[in-house]
Amino acid sequence: VYGLIRATRYPMLGICGGHQLLAKAFGAQVAPTKRISQAAGYAGCWREKGFVSLRVAAKDPLLAGLPERLSLWENHCEEVKSLPKGFLLLVRGDKSRRQAVRHSSSKVYGVQFHPEIFNGAHPHGKVILLNFLKLAGVVGRPPDAQER
């Protein structure tokens, strides 16, 4: 799977676990954000969940039309611990630092947050999805996204 991810010539958007898989394919470590107990598995991990304030770290077409402060939905307890080789950091967070990344020479993106979850008070995820569909050359309306 890692070889297929590294070899793709198509636009790609890895969301949450897909972001982590993408990072691992390019040599980055993925591990729990923080352990809060000795309980096994995810039960012992701190979870970042809900709409979280994030900051744009670099301009990119994926973030076109967005302010420097973003409000995006999170639901994870693992994170990408280092920037994958050949990637640029686009969005950073206070708890999980590498929130959005892009390969330096392709349209391969990873986002830790869930852009598919948005609402009227938190529309930034919708803008990111629409921007990606434009980058990917998809014509027409995006698939229905879940609103919360």
Q: How far is CA 89 from CA 23, 35, 93, 119, in A?
A: 12, 25, 11, 26
**One-letter amino acid for residue 82 of the chain:** S
**Annotated catalytic, 114?**
yes
Q: If we measure between CA atoms, which residue out of 107, 103, 127 comes closest to residue 115? A: 127
48, 74, 78, 116: the catalytic one is 116
Phi, psi of 50 (to 5 degrees): 110, 180
Q: If we measure between CA atoms, which residue out of 51, 46, 47 comes closest to residue 69? A: 51
**Annotated catalytic, 68?**
no
**Annotated catalytic, 116?**
yes
Are the C-beta atoms of residues 74 and 81 closer than 8 Å to each other?
A: no
Number of CB atoms found within 10 A of residue 113's CB: 28
76, 114, 122, 124: the catalytic one is 114
16, 19, 76, 122: the catalytic one is 16
Catalytic residues: 16, 114, 116
